[in-house]
Structure 1
Amino acid sequence: MRGKTGLAFAIAIALVSCFVVFRVFRQHRQGEYRTEDDSGMTEAEQILTILTPDASVDEFQGFIEETGKRLGMKIRLEATSQDAESREAQVSNLLTSGNQDVDLIAINDEMASEFIPKGYLEPLGEDVLPEDIRSSFPEEYFQKVCMYDGKVYSAPYMLDIMMFWINQKFLEEAGVSDLNTEDRFDHFLETDYGENRYAYGSAWEQSYAYNDLFQTVNMFGGDYLDWDNGNSRAAVQYLKNLVENGQTPEDQVLDQYEQMEQKFIDGRYGCIYLYSGAMNIFLNSGAYSDEGIHVSSIPEFYEKKTTIATWQFAINRSSSHKDAAKAFIRYITGDDGAEYYSNCVQRAPARLDILRHGGVDIPDIEVVRSYVNTCELLPRYFTDSPMSGIKSMGTLFQKYIAGDITMDSFCAGAQDIVDERKS
């Protein structure tokens, strides 16, 4: 009996020791992303509500579940609309109402440009985003999109790069190896691919045409803020010529990205410009391969420039769980969190150092890295009312494409739109 009692006592001691070690380890892991300000959070304060368009995405849900365990908090997800205009209106209503139930909001560039100057978001200090983390984001982009009056208001976590995608079958029919030079590109455009097949495709619905126009201005060495610039004018003339020559369809003025992506998958287009976030869509379709549709380098007409965008997390200034929100941002922008997020959801991290040198395992990672390493990464330009400015430019562009206004009228109108400078 005495031996059994001693054994039971030893087992009990061992179990208690294991429990203590586990608690210490867990507290250490949680402490990596907390400061003295939030280490004393009550149980109620450890509940975090995130508003995001990814709320129903399985991979993101898995990331959130594990992150909640690592941070020792309960995280709830609420969905925003997938439609850009509806999403902006939804978030705007929430912020202007002073809603305290949502703590963190996933915002894109358009929402950042609108909501940050209005004072709806909580500034992020050095305790949330220290200098070494801030400097890991694309510098010009971070300063123009995430900062206002010298303060930081949003933390990028996912990077989208405007990439050039081609259908290898079209290349073979045109008899060219790539589209890196203007001569080869022109030959590719001039090749007859048969009925209902076009060398170039895009999404020119009024809320999306802005992206293709901006990137084409980059490709021609123009300046989107200067419509007296000859290269800017040449870029928009080039897009009109594509329609007039039957190299791209005029009916794409009705298409958003979803329709363009499907048409590209179906083999209707030879090349498109589209953000890197579409990689998984093409992979899941089975059409992505060296013999099918894939990413190519930016055509070298002038300098190699491309636009970038990010998704960012921002703290609702009316939130009652700001300490928990700050702890989450510290984690997802930290070394471990940024890498873990990227691998969970198969998206490029916003931190360039993690993207270039971290243990990131996403589709075609070397292609993504080549863009980051060889292209000048440019932020897009937004007016004080981003969605209004985007739609105004899209409507003006559609009128020019349809022949309802002249080049001079388009450029004068475009200049008026971009001259709505931020204060």
Structure 2
Amino acid sequence: MTEEVRDSFPQKYLESICEENGHIYSVPFQMDIMMFWVNQELLKQAGLDEIKNTGDFDILQKSLKNPDQYAYGDAWENTHVYNSLSQFVNFWGGDYFDWTDPKTKDAARYMKSMLDEKNTSPAQFVDQYEQMEEKFIRGKYGCVFMYTSALGTFLDADVYGKNKIHMAPLPVLHKKKATNIATWQYVLNNASENKDAAVRFLQYAAGYEGSTEYAKIMKSYPARVDVIENEDIDLEGIDMIRKYLREYTLNARPLCENSMGAVSDMGKLFQGYVLGQCEEDSFFEQAQNCINTYY
């Protein structure tokens, strides 16, 4: 990558995920941001235009008429909950890698309180994103955190729109407006027998033209920020994507070499904590041990 091309991607993400010792090892091509999605019909029922803070969760929950409906929905299956756990740590201004940090602890405490106060469902302990999305589509949840890649699912289900399910600004749950970001990426396989051609493709994919064509043909958000900001790119929901890129802190998901082991072990610890199967101090200690083991 030239410096000009490199500068067109989210810098913090590029440095933490794609780069090591000054070398770029992958080319991002699709932007995937953890967005805040709301069911506007349920918000209207509660007399809310949007969810701005934690108090609005309570207002929304009290307005729901079905006992199987919840203000907030999530995927707390042990291999998925790390997404939300790191997301709430973002909001509290904590550090997912430091479980001695009071702000990190407060984020986990708040998630537990959402379950204790019945603002979210115990059934989601076995839910991955497919189940969460399906329940959200059926009107069981007032809001969820989900990546932009869910847009196609909601469009296909004919539930997407400003008066239905849509992306919304981040609420102020504590101190920071921060969210997770991911990208799908191309890499050059070391076993490739056509490395020169592969390099030419990677250069095209990383370039402005390639990224623009990807957005238009695939109707998907590209990884290059300058292409997203191009007013000629007219994709569903792109104005909200631009808002997130301009106004919020974007953090890379906490991944490591053995990511599945790390997220699964942390997920099991978190489940035990929110279910009251281990003491709070024990959870924080074990969470830090998990981080030290994998990272």
TM-score of the alignment, normalized to the shorter chain, above 0.5: yes
Deviates more, 1:349-358 or 1:173-182: 173-182
Number of residue pairs matched by the alignment: 294
- What is the identity, as a one-letter code, of the residue corresponding to 1:236? A
Distance in 2 between the 1:149 and 1:385 partners? Answer: 21
Matches within 5 A, 1:37-116: none
| TM-score, length-scaled by structure 2 | 0.95
Report the counterpart of residue 179 of structure 1 in structure 2.
51
Deviates more, 1:185-194 or 1:299-308: 185-194
Match of 2:286 among 396, 402, 413: 413
Question: Secondary structure in 2 aligned to 1:399?
Answer: helix
The answer as to 2:233 corresponding to 1:360 is yes
Question: Secondary structure in 2 aligned to 1:419?
Answer: helix
Q: Is the 8 A contact 2:18 2:25 kept in 1?
A: yes
Gaps of 5+ in 1: 1-128
Identity %: 38
- What is the identity, as a one-letter code, of the residue corresponding to 1:142? L
Report the counterpart of residue 21 of structure 1 in structure 2.
none
Distance in 2 between the 1:360 and 1:421 partners? Answer: 40
Matches within 5 A, 1:154-303: 154-300=26-172, 301-303=174-176
Which one has the largest radius of gyration?
1
Q: Is the 8 A contact 2:27 2:186 kept in 1?
A: yes
Report the counterpart of residue 182 of structure 2 in structure 1.
309
Report the Cα offset of residue 378 of structure 1: 0.8
Report the counterpart of residue 22 of structure 1 in structure 2.
none
Deviations 1:193-248 (A, max 9, x none): 32211111011111110001111111222221221222211211111122222221
- What is the identity, as a one-letter code, of the residue corresponding to 1:320? E
Distance in 1 between the 2:246 and 2:180 partners? Answer: 14
- What is the identity, as a one-letter code, of the residue corresponding to 1:205? E
RCO comparison, higher one (Cα < 8 Å, 6+): 2
Q: Is the 8 A contact 2:182 2:252 kept in 1?
A: yes
Distance in 2 between the 1:395 and 1:262 partners? Answer: 24
Distance in 2 between the 1:218 and 1:193 partners? Answer: 32
Deviations 1:2-21 (A, max 9, x none): xxxxxxxxxxxxxxxxxxxx
Distance in 1 between the 2:244 and 2:176 partners? Answer: 13
Question: Secondary structure in 1 aligned to 2:187?
Answer: strand
Distance in 1 between the 2:82 and 2:256 partners? Answer: 13
Question: Secondary structure in 2 aligned to 1:240?
Answer: helix
The answer as to 2:242 corresponding to 1:369 is yes
| TM-score, length-scaled by structure 1 | 0.67
Question: Secondary structure in 2 aligned to 1:357?
Answer: coil
Distance in 1 between the 2:179 and 2:65 partners? Answer: 28
Question: Secondary structure in 2 aligned to 1:319?
Answer: coil
157 and 268 in structure 1: CA distance in 2 versus 1, 3 angstrom threshold = same
The answer as to 2:274 corresponding to 1:401 is yes
